[in-house]
């Protein structure tokens, strides 16, 4: 099989790494990829959103399966385009991807199908007065969310009316997020432990992967600005087997059945962000793709042939109802450029990568934003590396030490990382 992976971050490096282990994969390509993917795949110099270019390339290079990493090409309809040309592709159609690309769509869908989520109201441009009126009578804190894709910045947790009205006004006018914000959702603030569950589905059947916890804030103890994710670990003890079983019954199955019933079957990865509240699990958000950096901890734990799994799903023919998992745990620490998530420099040489004997040490260094410059590997993004350690059984303590031991052997000018990744596994509060 020739597989083409679309994207160029740590998630795509982890997907390529896992696919490279499948006996059925004869050729692996990644567009555009990064310095890390080039060690396991051939990089193709095409942007992830260049749908026509990717389509031509896939056709000219006898690609048997295309796997889409990021949301932008899904939102732009890459799956619809490939399917119309008869090319197998793993990911949801543009209509099904609305579970991620429109929060108003997702909330309305959940309400109709009785899937547990925060209470909410939707407002559109022109309804500023109604939104203000609603906010004046609301209980605080509450959450104001831009409807569309806003690179993780479209959620404001407001402590009072002034903050909420300002956020809502800036969104509805288009000032904050352009068209992505001119519809917004105002929802109840939920308290509890947050975790993510990933389901691979062909639109009918599904399997779940190890539940994970991300660390979205830039500073230790979940302080500071939101980022794409500064680290992750899996499986999280906050979602034990019986809780995962409950999530499957109350959330995942109704989503997949509901999408099919609505005439827009969802195929690909359903990423469910959940809050485990005193009233049970509630959906915070859906994503329609693998998470980054969750993929870097979830895929190393999967004891299955990923290529066969994704091929079967793309063909609408998932055979399994559960997948085998290694009796292991994984911790990924993101090393980022100084300044991230705001402005940062790139082009800094990275030292120490060769000194890590990756698979023998139980450490996998997934590249997020790197590039080759001559013989050197240099920084090329905000998130640079995802240093991932693997440990046996359920005790994450030695895995955390292993990950940070490796982080300390890697150096680049301005390298920044959180020092508390995985600690949530050790606390009851999550
Ligand atoms: P979202 O993009 O919708 O997942 O929101 C980003 C982050 O905001 C989530 O990971 C939560 O930490 C937080 N968040 C979103 N919605 C709520 C809510 N209803 N209650 C509390 N926190 C929330
Ligand atoms: N780590 C969160 C995401 O991929 O959206």
Is pTM beyond 0.85? Reply is yes
User: CA nearest 41: which of 6, 76, 17?
Assistant: 17
pLDDT bin (cut points 50, 70, 90) of residue 342 is very high
Q: Which ligand is nearest to the CA of 186?
A: 1
Query: Whose Cα sits closest to atom 5 in ligand 2?
Result: 291
Per the model's pLDDT, the better-predicted residue between 170 and 265 turns out to be 265
Residues 6+ apart with CB under 8 A from 187: 107, 117, 118, 119, 120, 121, 142, 143, 145
pLDDT bin (cut points 50, 70, 90) of residue 55 is very high
pLDDT tens, residue by residue, 118-173: 999 999 888 888 999 999 999 999 999 999 888 777 889 999 999 999 999 888 88
Farthest-apart Cα atoms in the chain, separation: 62
pLDDT tens, residue by residue, 107-121: 999 999 999 999 999
pLDDT bin (cut points 50, 70, 90) of residue 429 is low
Q: Which ligand is nearest to the CA of 147?
A: 1
pLDDT score, position 356: 85
Ligand 2 binding pocket, CB closer than 6 Å: 214, 229, 287, 291-292, 294
pLDDT tens, residue by residue, 177-222: 888 878 899 999 999 999 999 999 999 999 999 999 999 999 999 9
Report the percentage of the chain scoring pLDDT > 90.
89
Q: Report the chain's mean pLDDT, rounded to a whole number.
A: 95
Ligand 2 atom index nearest CA of 291: 4
Ligand 1 binding pocket, CB closer than 6 Å: 118, 143, 145, 155, 187-190, 194, 216, 273, 284-285
Ligand 2 atom index nearest CA of 214: 1
Query: Whose Cα sits closest to atom 4 in ligand 2?
Result: 291
CB neighbours (10 Å) of residue 413?
13
Mutate to test the pocket of ligand 1, among 119, 140, 155, 278 (most ligand atoms within 8 A of CB): 155
pLDDT tens, residue by residue, 388-401: 999 999 999 999 99
Q: Which ligand is nearest to the CA of 198?
A: 2
- How much distance in Å is there from the Cα of 143 to the middle of ligand 1? 8
pLDDT bin (cut points 50, 70, 90) of residue 407 is very high
Q: Which residue has the tokens 């006996």?
A: 23
| DSSP single-letter state for residue 248 | I
- How much distance in Å is there from the Cα of 86 to the middle of ligand 1? 38
Q: Which ligand is nearest to the CA of 286?
A: 1
Residues 6+ apart with CB under 8 A from 240: none
pLDDT bin (cut points 50, 70, 90) of residue 58 is very high
pLDDT score, position 427: 82
Paired tokens of 264: 């827009």
**Does pLDDT of 270 surpass 90?**
yes
Mutate to test the pocket of ligand 1, among 110, 151, 157, 216 (most ligand atoms within 8 A of CB): 157
Task: Catalogue all structural domains in the chain, each as residue range(s) with its CATH number.
Answer: 2-76 (3.40.50.20), 119-188 (3.30.1490.20), 193-426 (3.30.470.20)
**Does pLDDT of 296 surpass 90?**
yes
Query: What is the pLDDT averaged over residues 250-258?
Result: 98
CB neighbours (10 Å) of residue 350?
22
């Amino acid at each position: 099989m020739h597989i083409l992976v679309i994207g160029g971050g740590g998630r795509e490096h982890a997907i390529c790494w896992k696919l490279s282990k499948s006996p059925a994969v004869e050729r692996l390509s990644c567009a555009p990829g990064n310095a890390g993917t080039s060690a396991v795949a051939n990089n193709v110099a095409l942007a992830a959103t260049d749908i026509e270019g990717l389509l031509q390339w896939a056709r000219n290079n006898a690609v048997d399966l295309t796997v889409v990493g990021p949301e932008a090409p899904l939102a732009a309809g890459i799956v619809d385009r490939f399917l119309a040309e008869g090319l197998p592709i793993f990911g949801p159609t543009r209509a099904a991807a609305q579970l991620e690309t429109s929060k108003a769509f997702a909330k309305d869908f959940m309400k109709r199908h009785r899937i547990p989520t925060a209470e909410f109201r939707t407002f559109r441009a022109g309804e500023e007065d109604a939104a203000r009126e609603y906010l004046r009578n609301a209980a605080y804190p509450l959450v104001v969310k831009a409807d569309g894709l806003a690179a993780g910045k479209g959620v404001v947790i407001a402590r009072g009316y002034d903050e909420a009205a300002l956020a809502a006004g800036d969104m509805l006018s288009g000032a904050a997020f352009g068209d992505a914000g001119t519809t917004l959702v105002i929802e109840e603030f939920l308290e509890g432990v947050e975790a993510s569950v990933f389901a691979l589905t062909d639109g009918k059947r599904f399997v779940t992967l190890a539940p994970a916890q991300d660390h979205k804030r830039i500073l230790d103890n979940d302080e500071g600005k939101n980022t794409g994710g500064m680290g992750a670990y899996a499986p999280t003890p906050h979602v034990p087997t019986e809780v995962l079983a409950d999530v499957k019954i109350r959330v995942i199955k109704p989503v997949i059945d509901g999408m099919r019933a609505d005439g827009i079957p969802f195929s690909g990865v359903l990423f469910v962000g959940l809050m485990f509240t005193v009233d049970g699990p509630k959906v915070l958000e859906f994503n329609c793709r693998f998470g980054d950096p969750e993929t870097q901890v979830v895929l190393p734990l999967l004891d299955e042939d990923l290529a066969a799994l994704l091929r079967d799903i793309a063909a609408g023919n998932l055979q399994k109802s559960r997948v085998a998992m290694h009796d292991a745990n994984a911790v990924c620490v993101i090393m980022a450029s100084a300044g991230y998530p705001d402005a940062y420099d790139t082009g800094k040489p990275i030292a120490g990568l060769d000194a890590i004997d990756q698979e023998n040490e139980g450490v996998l260094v997934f590249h997020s934003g790197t590039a080759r410059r001559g013989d050197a590997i240099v920084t090329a993004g905000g998130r640079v590396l995802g240093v991932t350690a693997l440990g046996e059984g359920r005790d994450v303590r030695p895995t955390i030490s292993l990950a940070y031991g490796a982080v300390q052997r890697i150096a680049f000018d301005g390298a920044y990382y959180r020092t508390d990744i995985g600690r949530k596994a050790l606390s009851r509060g999550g």
